[in-house]
Amino acid sequence: MWLRAGGTVALTLLLVLVAAACGSAGARHTSHTVTFRTGGNFPAETIVGHPTDRGCIRDGRTVAENARLYYRHSTGAPGPADLYYYDLRFAFAHFQADGCTSGDLRRALERCLTAPQRTFLLHNVAGDVDRAFHAALG
């Protein structure tokens, strides 16, 4: 009887630990609702976050890819760069809504952009994106 009760307790403890470990992966991300302000006569867009580690990796990569395109079209590729800056801001709004961290952004920017590209962006973006890039790359 004692062995059976001990086995049940051990099994229960194991299940609790496994469940806690599975749930902790996304615990560092907290969902937010972000209002993305567009330009001109276009209405603002509400973005509701769905935080996951995988989602933050994807969001960070999308921000970095859009930042790279903004850089390219600001430094010689056919313009205008405005469209790419808009896409960068929109991707960053999703990044924010998913509660992704400065560390997530830093890893994505360092992986996808060269040091000169990152330096350019630190001096050529504004608002929330500027604050986030400085916090990530500071």
* Cα separations in angstroms, 118 against 32, 134, 135: 27, 10, 13
What residue ranges of the chain have pLDDT lower than 50? 2-3, 7, 9-27
Task: Classify residue 18: in a domain, yes or no.
Answer: no
**pLDDT confidence of residue 40:** 75
**pLDDT confidence of residue 44:** 81
User: Strand 45-48 relative to strand 33-36: parallel, antiparallel, unpaired?
Assistant: antiparallel
**pLDDT confidence of residue 11:** 40
Task: Classify residue 15: in a domain, yes or no.
Answer: no
Task: Classify residue 23: in a domain, yes or no.
Answer: no
**pLDDT confidence of residue 33:** 82
Q: Which long-range contacts (CB under 8 A, 24 or more apart) does 20-26 make?
A: 25/52, 25/53, 26/51, 26/52, 26/53
Whether the full predicted model's pTM is greater than 0.75, yes or no, is no
Domain of 48 in residue numbering reads as: 31-137
